[in-house]
Each structure stands twice: as structure tokens, then as C-alpha cells.
Amino acid sequence: DGTRHQMWILQDPAIIKKVAESMSKKSIFIADGHHRYETSRNFRNIMRARYGMRTANRSYEYTMMYLTNMDDEGLTILPSHRILKSAPNFQINPFFERIKRWFDITKSQLPLPNTARERTALKQRLKEGGQHNPTFGFYHKGDDQLYILSLKPGAIEMVGDDLHPMLKRLDVLVLSRLILQKGLGFSKEDLDDDKVFHYESSVGTAMSHVQSGDYQMTFLLNPTKMEHVKEIASKSLIMPRKSTYFYPKILTGLVFNKIDPYETIQIT
């Protein structure tokens, strides 16, 4: 993807000590990989119980992670557009009729975003709309029209009483609850079906998948704001699935975590 990776190995104990001290009072937000973190903690706890004590030099007392400054200007959150393979019994007019109680539906005055300039114009349109209320782009197969869906004032309360107020502010949950579930009839379990739902950070790629006929429709989103990530994590809440796409990504396999074979659990 054009990203250049560089890696250095630090072996000077004085430098390592300085890094550890500078990080000791800081909070860490897990942007990607909370399941891996929880799994590594469970493994550590099982091994502690097995040996009956904490042993600092055991590999299970550590887990690998990549840390970056959340305020670094090079760190970007890309949107996670939804592409749907098919929606049951979908018809455009009944669909709009169902969601118009929550959304203002307008035809975009912009051309379909098939060029870089047109894609930039669409992103700006979604960004401007998203400053006031959650705003989505909608395009479906066989149509030459892009629609803008803007949440009506007060409709945020219809997302659900089971959610923390901070989570209600997230575009991905508004899309999931009001459009995908109530509007298109998907269940929460359906949303985890990778055969139906695909996620794409590029507007152009999302549109081309639908225009080619490979997918039936796409919903284009604004990227999640970094301040929302911080606020939600600070309340010990978990971000919804596929709500953030941090860029650049670190290549998998640059480093490996060696686990002592004598520490592994015998599974029968």
C-alpha cells in the first residue's frame, strides 16, 4: 500500500530503562487487538495458577504490542464503509419509506464518485453533514444516483436504550441499529456474517464493487473521530466491531514472540 516500514532493535539497557520510565505513568488505549490482549492475560493467569507463583522471567508474563502516539499527525482513522452482498427482499421505495422517520433522504447533487476529484467532493459532503448529525452515503446496484442519508434531530434516541449515551453518538451504531437492522431487517447475528457484509476503507473500491454487480449496495461513512475513541475507552466501554480502521498498519510478522515449550499447557 506504499507504506515504508523501518525497525530498530534496542539493546542498550540504559535506553530501555529510559523508555520504560517514560511510559510507566501513561495510559494505553487498545485501538486494535483487545481480544488478543484478553487472551494473553487469560493464558498468563492459567500459567500462574499452574506454577503457583509469579516468575518475572517467564514468557507468559509479557505480550507484544505496538505503541504509537494517538495525537501523532501521521496517524489516521479511515472510514469503514459497509458493502452488502444482498439484503432480503430489498426494494428501494419500501426501504426509504421505513427509514424516513429517522433520516432525511436527499439525492446527492454530486456525480457518482468515479474519479479522485469526485471522491474528494463526496468525502467533503459527508464531512460537512457529519458535523451536525450522522450522515451516510448510499448507493445500490442498478441505480445511477447516490443518496445522502442524514439523521434527523432527536432520532438518535431511537438507536436504543441499552446503549451508553457515548456509544449512541457513533455513526456505525446508528447505521447498524436504524438502517441495517430496522431498515433492512438484519439481525445482530447477521451483521457478523462475512458472507453478507464486507468492509472497505476506500470509497472508490466500495463503489466499484457495487457497480460491477459483485455486491448489491454500499453505505459510505465518515471516519470515527479520535476524541470519541478516547472518551469511550476512558469509560471502560468497547468500540463496536469495524468502527475504526487505523492507518498506517504495521506489517504482520516483523517480530515473533517466542514461547518456551516447557511452559505450554498440556491439552487432553
Report yes or no: 243 and 170 within 8 Å, Cβ to Cβ: yes
Which stretches of the chain are assigned E, i.e. beta strand? 76-78, 81-84, 103-107, 135-140, 147-151, 197-200, 217-220, 245-247
Q: Judge if pTM exceeds 0.95.
A: no
Report yes or no: 237 and 164 within 8 Å, Cβ to Cβ: yes
For 237-253, the pLDDT digits (tens) are: 778 777 888 888 888 88
For 154-213, the pLDDT digits (tens) are: 887 777 777 787 787 888 989 999 999 999 999 888 888 888 999 999 999 999 999 999
How many angstroms separate the CA atoms of 4 and 190, rounded?
37
